[in-house]
Structure 1
Amino acid sequence: MFGVSVFLGDELTIETKNYLQTMKDSGFEGVFTSMHIPEDDASQYVTRVKTLGQWTQELGMQLMVDISGEALNKIGFSFDRPEEMLAIGITGLRMDYHITNQISAKVSRSMTVALNASTITQEDIDELKQYNANFQQMEAWHNYYPRPETGLDKELFIRKNHWLKTLGFNVMAFVPGNEILRGPLFCQLPTLEKQRGVHPLASAIELLNECEVDDVYIGDPTIDDRTKQQFFYYIKKKTLLFSIKEIQGSDYLPVIVGKHQNRWDAARDVIRSADARFRTIPTIEPQHIQERVKGSVTVDNRLYGRYMGEIQVVKHPLPKDEKVTVVAHVIPEDLTLIDWCQEGQLFELQPIQDNERG
């Protein structure tokens, strides 16, 4: 499942609601928020969480709230009355580390409970069993890390997730946003340090494919419109969408634009379009013979004989070849996505103007 984050320290506006609608339309199903409340803002938080709960109910989205016992009391709710939270659209609670396993076990018998994936121990598991927790309604959620250099190490992260999966937990982690970032540091909110500054979708695919993660949430408040479209393509169409910039003076952009599939016998150095051989193409003349950097989109020209018309996206730098015409380049923001175009993966090449970037 994919999800987004909404922060209740900021006013909820029609733009917030529209963003949630767009993300729902793009295939996102969950919303995360936090109820760590400043002393003088309790009343605002009550109103905002109720509004957010109403919106998520209308959209059919799940709402997970990060909560402490003190904050819950401030807004007039109680762990003893989970039905009141369910009634306003809260579908799950992510438990602060000050909350006991006994309380977590009790709440899990009524609604979803998320435990801190990074800190849970076997002792916690034993206690939860002792208190008759409903493990079918318990999940393991990692934190995001606003301060640079404090995000998790990938190897240790995978090791912990593997253990959690053996216990039957659903595992969630955060990836960074790339539009409105959360202050005061504005350094993005990933779980893994290596993903700070990386494309949100590339980060999500890495978590899902290599890190034993089930659910991915955007940590920061928003992603840009182009990235929303890329998530839509990936979730709804199982397709990676690459934005490309044409080389000025190229005659062959129409040849490469559109839908493709990476061959099942995937190459080491390039993404080879399995669809290229089925296209009707003109004679491709040698043009723009240049070094092929990562992200170069090429078409084999007439000097390659029967290979003429083969379309490739370069994965690793390659020397220039008089038989290979360079037509366009994947924009820098999308280069990390290339690493996840694996065997049989559908992808689409879409021209972009500079003013269309997020």
Structure 2
Amino acid sequence: MKLGASVYLHVPIEEQLPYLEKINLYGFQTLFTSLHIPEDDVSLYAERLQRLGRFAEKKGMALVCDVSPQSMAHLQLTWEKASLLCDWGVTGLRIDYGIDAKTVARISRSLKIVVNASTVKAEDIAALKHAGVAFDHIEGWHNFYPRPETGLGRENFNKINERLREAGFKRMSFIPGDVKRGPLYEGLPTLEAHRHWSPFAAWLDLYSQKAVDTVIVGDPQLSEESLQQLALFQQQGVILLRAKACVEPPIIDKQCNRPDEARDVIRSVQSREIAQQMKQKVKPNQTTERLLGTITMDNERYGRYQGEIQLTKRDLQADDKVNVIGRVIEEDRPLLEHLKANQLFSIKWS
């Protein structure tokens, strides 16, 4: 599954290049930008898009622009000359409303065409076929939704993706970033469920469901921690969880959930072995209730289970044989669903 980033042209491209260089090293292959954001100064679009295009071309990255009927005028071009955008480093256009099928067909001979996955209808697809659009150059991309409560539900999302798959389209979805985009600063996901998840949790959800072919971060930036989470999973298959400690936590590089997956908790295979090697008693401490995402260690009252680290998959009551040592941060708790049997994981404490 390809990864992409959003670039917004109200910020000079030179200021964004260090971040773009970094994500390119992390394997990001696609850049997305919009040429019809109401708050933008459109007079800046042409120069900044060309600068962004030079960067994308140099790095071998795709560059897709979201356009409206007025967008070519903003670039001092016409729709008849849209193919000139290839010379700017643009590789595709996301076309929504108001652009006729014949124009789209002509553009598709030189640029990839992206349709709005959420709004394209069967008759729209038929019209594009009739006009001669090159269907090996067409994809379906979802919207992002800045306002809370307006993102797609899972069932509708899946139905749209299935319809696009049957039409032969590759699909793209947005996930939120760490540095939020204004004016609402509420994240830019496609799925409403992802709005307050960590970017990695949202990405892993789409990856595990095989829902789309490309995932693009809708917000301007990911943190270094999110990039590390993505890289660790992609390179080693390890899910990195961020957690806050309430006592001095044990540091174990990589852990693995047991093959006989428990209903209520994730059980670290390595933790008991390490505790036995250290030959230290685990005294009862912080034996409080265990909310979803709580990280615990069995104390000496649990006999041979002493030293076992667990992560709770649901709320559990307090147990005087179980010490609470911390809790996974809220944004990363959706990751617990992916800690199946034999899944590798690591905990980054703060």
Q: TM-score, normalised by structure 2?
A: 0.89
Q: Does 1:174 align with 2:174?
A: yes
Alpha-carbon distance, 1:348 to partner: 0.9
1:8 counterpart letter in structure 2: L
Deviations 1:150-183 (A, max 9, x none): 222221111111111122211111112232x222
Corresponding residue of 1:32: 32
Give distance in 2, aligned partners of 1:293 and 1:99: 52
Q: Does 1:161 align with 2:158?
A: no
Which range moved further: 32-41 or 127-136? 32-41
Alpha-carbon distance, 1:264 to partner: 3.6
Corresponding residue of 2:194: 195
- RMSD (CA atoms): 2.5
Give distance in 1, aligned partners of 2:38 and 2:121: 30
Corresponding residue of 2:235: 236
Relative distance call for 1:182 and 1:287 in structure 2 (3 A) is same
Give distance in 2, aligned partners of 1:306 and 1:296: 21
Corresponding residue of 1:287: 284
Q: Does 1:53 align with 2:53?
A: yes
Q: Does the Cα contact within 8 Å between 1:284 and 1:300 map onto a contact in 2?
A: no
Give distance in 1, aligned partners of 2:216 and 2:281: 44
Give distance in 1, aligned partners of 2:307 and 2:40: 66
Give distance in 2, aligned partners of 1:314 and 1:38: 45
Give distance in 1, aligned partners of 2:200 and 2:242: 14
Alpha-carbon distance, 1:273 to partner: 2.2
Deviations 1:257-309 (A, max 9, x none): 32122234322211222334554443342332222222222233343343333
Which range moved further: 34-43 or 325-334? 34-43
Give distance in 1, aligned partners of 2:330 and 2:192: 20
Alpha-carbon distance, 1:37 to partner: 6.7
* Match 1:272 to one of 255, 259, 267: 267
Deviations 1:93-113 (A, max 9, x none): 101311122222332232211
Give distance in 2, aligned partners of 1:120 and 1:154: 18
Give distance in 1, aligned partners of 2:339 and 2:80: 48
Q: Does 1:122 align with 2:122?
A: yes
Q: 3-state DSSP class of the match of 2:269?
A: coil
Give distance in 1, aligned partners of 2:111 and 2:306: 59
Corresponding residue of 2:103: 103
1:212 counterpart letter in structure 2: A
Relative distance call for 1:110 and 1:337 in structure 2 (3 A) is same
Give distance in 1, aligned partners of 2:38 and 2:322: 61
1:149 counterpart letter in structure 2: E
Give distance in 1, aligned partners of 2:240 and 2:29: 21
Alpha-carbon distance, 1:88 to partner: 2.0
Relative distance call for 1:231 and 1:147 in structure 2 (3 A) is same
* Match 1:261 to one of 243, 256, 262: 256
Q: 3-state DSSP class of the match of 1:209?
A: helix
Alpha-carbon distance, 1:79 to partner: 4.5
Alpha-carbon distance, 1:42 to partner: 4.2
1:282 counterpart letter in structure 2: K
Q: Does 1:8 align with 2:6?
A: no
- Residue identity (%): 39
Relative distance call for 1:21 and 1:282 in structure 2 (3 A) is farther
Alpha-carbon distance, 1:317 to partner: 1.4
Give distance in 1, aligned partners of 2:40 and 2:334: 43
Q: Does 1:91 align with 2:91?
A: yes
Give distance in 2, aligned partners of 1:151 and 1:244: 28
Q: Does the Cα contact within 8 Å between 1:161 and 1:211 map onto a contact in 2?
A: no
Give distance in 2, aligned partners of 1:349 and 1:263: 16
Corresponding residue of 1:356: none
Relative distance call for 1:2 and 1:327 in structure 2 (3 A) is same
> Structure 2: where are the runs of 5+ without partners?
none
Deviations 1:215-239 (A, max 9, x none): 1111111233322322232333332
Corresponding residue of 1:322: 320
Relative distance call for 1:272 and 1:118 in structure 2 (3 A) is same
Q: Does the Cα contact within 8 Å between 1:300 and 1:323 map onto a contact in 2?
A: yes
Alpha-carbon distance, 1:191 to partner: 1.4
Give distance in 1, aligned partners of 2:197 and 2:40: 36
> Structure 1: where are the runs of 5+ without partners?
353-358
Give distance in 1, aligned partners of 2:111 and 2:281: 61
2:121 counterpart letter in structure 1: T
Q: How does 1:138-157 map to 2 (within 5 A)?
A: 138-157=138-157
Give distance in 1, aligned partners of 2:278 and 2:61: 46
2:239 counterpart letter in structure 1: L
Corresponding residue of 2:304: 306
Alpha-carbon distance, 1:83 to partner: 4.8
Q: Does the Cα contact within 8 Å between 2:197 and 2:332 map onto a contact in 1?
A: no
